[in-house]
């Protein structure tokens, strides 16, 4: 209702420009019991059903930072809605309103969970299934230097490579999909991974199809050989590292800026002047605390 209070709701603007695409990105959506309620990523995850699937056995569910609902179910799904609406407008010549709810967005992203329930992937309690830390071959293990290795050797041929790299004999082990043996196998794998450093395990598994990779920190990720070869991370003019825009387009790839991120409010006055506001109007907006300024400090 914020835009309506400003007299800028979709009904008003679409009347003025029927081709307008008006995206509304909210947590709970434009209608429903919680439509006007406050919330955050963890609340949207909870209401979508996804949160109930996240977490280890005998532990509370946990929310993985705020990437799933806010950015994936919200931002990415909203952007996709805008692209779809633009594509449709090329045919109809008409715009439309996009109701991008983070609850619905992240629920839709989880369609895989719903569609595979009857395939046995999610038939057991949380933390006991193939992809939720139940399987010893789909798990994260600590190394002797306190770092971690990620293991995702699901297919038999990949599992065979994992067993070989760990120095085990498959003839002396239970079969891979013996669920009752998974807890003991996890202990065995953990004890072996704890005997070498992360770098040593990389030397063992790099170049194999064991699906074993290092868990890289944000400090290390840009210097990893694969990421360097792909130029996956970039530095700005302040030396700050961030991910390069993705996906990579062959003909019109994104050209990332080398400038530092702006401070909040750094360009407020400049942009308002560009759009025709007078200095007096801007000063009034500032005194009414509608806008804020933040100028970088001069280096004297």
Catalytic residues, which ones? 40, 70
Residues 144 and 295: their CA atoms lie apart, in Å, by 47
Say how many CA atoms lie within 13 Å of 298 toward its Cβ.
1
Q: How many residues belong to the chain?
A: 300
User: Measuring CA to CA, which residue among 190, 188, 214, 187 is closest to residue 200?
Assistant: 214
For residue 127, give every residue at least 6 positions away whose Cβ sits within 8 Å of its Cβ, in sequence order, or none.
55, 56, 57, 58, 59, 133, 134
Q: Which residue has the tokens 């002047």?
A: 273
Residue 222: CB atoms within 10 Å: 17
User: Measuring CA to CA, which residue among 87, 101, 83 is closest to residue 39?
Assistant: 101
User: Which residues are paired to 142 by β-bridges?
Assistant: 148
For residue 290, give every residue at least 6 positions away whose Cβ sits within 8 Å of its Cβ, in sequence order, or none.
none
């Amino acid at each position: 209702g914020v835009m309506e209070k400003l007299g800028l709701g979709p009904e008003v603007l679409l009347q003025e420009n029927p081709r307008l695409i008006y995206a509304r990105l909210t947590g709970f959506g434009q209608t429903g019991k919680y439509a006007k309620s406050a919330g955050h990523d963890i609340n949207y995850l909870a209401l979508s059903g996804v949160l109930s699937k996240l977490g280890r056995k005998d532990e509370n569910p946990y929310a993985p930072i705020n990437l799933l609902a806010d950015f994936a179910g919200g931002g990415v799904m909203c952007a996709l809605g805008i692209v779809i609406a633009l594509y449709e407008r090329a045919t109809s010549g008409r715009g439309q309103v996009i109701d991008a709810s983070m609850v619905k967005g992240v629920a839709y992203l989880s369609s895989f969970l719903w569609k595979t329930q009857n395939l046995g992937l999610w038939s057991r309690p949380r933390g006991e299934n193939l992809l939720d830390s139940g399987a010893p071959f789909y798990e994260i293990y600590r190394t002797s230097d306190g770092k971690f290795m990620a293991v995702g050797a699901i297919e038999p041929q990949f599992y065979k490579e994992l067993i070989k790299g760990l120095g085990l004999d498959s003839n002396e082990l239970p079969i891979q999909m013996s669920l009752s043996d998974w807890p003991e196998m996890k202990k065995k794998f953990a004890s072996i991974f704890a005997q070498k450093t992360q770098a040593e395990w990389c030397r063992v598994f790099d170049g194999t199809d064991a699906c074993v990779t290092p868990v890289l920190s944000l400090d290390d990720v840009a210097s990893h050989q694969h990421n360097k070869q792909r130029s996956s991370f970039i530095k700005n003019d302040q030396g700050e590292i961030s991910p390069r825009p993705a996906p990579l387009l062959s003909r019109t790839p994104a050209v990332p800026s080398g400038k530092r991120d702006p401070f909040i409010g750094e360009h407020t006055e400049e942009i308002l002047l560009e759009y025709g506001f007078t200095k007096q109007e801007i000063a009034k907006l500032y005194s009414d605390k509608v806008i804020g300024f933040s100028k970088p400090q001069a280096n004297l």
